[in-house]
Structure 1
Amino acid sequence: MYIVEDEPTIQDSLKVVLEGYLRAEIVGTAPSEAEAVAWLKANRDGWHLLVVDLLLKQGSGLGVLAALAALGPKCGLVVALTNAASADNRAQCLTLGADAVFDKAAEINEFLAFCADGLGEKA
């Protein structure tokens, strides 16, 4: 799994929860759009789950999703996990190729269930 999240505390919490709950390996993290896009370009087949926050200190998760879409077919699930899960942002994420969008505060259980279902054979 690869995580795009700029808040270190949230990034660390996601690592613990995802590794513990899904028993999957975190292959990397990025706090910015530029770092995430560079890693995704260099590792096109190196992940099974990409978790992207929309609000980053540098760039945005929407930029990451757009860059990923430009790379061609994706190799795993793409999930936006954000505090900015408005109807417009959800629609834009899905249009850019995200498989699902979840609100960090209100939908964490749904996020974990979606990831577990989607990665059942890969995790």
Structure 2
Amino acid sequence: MDTIKGPAKSQRQRVGGPLGVLLVIDTPSLLMRMADVARDIEGLRVVGTFSSAAQAVDWLVFDRAGWHLAFVDLGLGESGDELVQRLQSQPRPGVVVAVGDHLWREVREKCRAMGVHDLLEKGDVIAFRGYLESKVR
């Protein structure tokens, strides 16, 4: 995991229930693995799993329960950038975490420009688990 300088701005607070995790990852096998990891951690609930930004945007229209942590694949391209903006413009947004192929400086700068302060390497399930466990504590 690579944390980009600056605090993650979240207006959604945990009030006694489990943290809601939203996953938008374009690789189905990785998406399922990440969902399994999130379900295995006490104090978390998976609120949505999507393999495209369009599916997640449609879900956001009808979502009333909200989410605390959203993991968005940078490999979604322009539609992923739009999804990040939509997630951050929600009435009570949680923390958006980028999932990228690399942790290069250029990728971190792109994330920072979008207002995303946390970046995980795509496929690094151990870092993903560690990030989730740190949020549940």
TM-score bracket for this pair, using the shorter chain length = 0.7 to 0.9
Instruction: Please state how far the C-alpha of 1:3 moved relative to its aligned partner.
Output: 0.6
Identity over aligned residues, as a percent? 29
**TM-score normalised to structure 2 length:** 0.69
- The higher relative CO (CA closer than 8 Å, separation ≥ 6) is in 2
1:90–1:110 CA distance, 2 compared to 1 (3 A): same
Amino acid at match of 2:81: L
Please name the residue that 1:115 is paired with: 132
C-alpha separation in 2, matches of 1:96 and 1:41 = 21
1:119–1:97 CA distance, 2 compared to 1 (3 A): farther
Q: Please list the CA deviations of residues 32-76 of structure 1 after superposition, one character each: whole Å capped at 9, or x if unmatched.
A: 1222123234326511111111113x75432211222334551x2
Instruction: Verify the 8 A CA contact 2:25 2:51 in the aligned structure 1.
Output: yes
Aligned ranges for residues 1-123 of structure 1 at < 5 Å?
1-43=21-63, 45-56=65-76, 59-71=78-90, 73-74=92-93, 76-105=94-123, 107-120=124-137
For this pair of structures, how many residues does the alignment match? 117
**TM-score normalised to structure 1 length:** 0.75
C-alpha separation in 1, matches of 2:85 and 2:39 = 27
Structure 1: gaps of 5 or more residues: none
C-alpha separation in 2, matches of 1:103 and 1:32 = 18
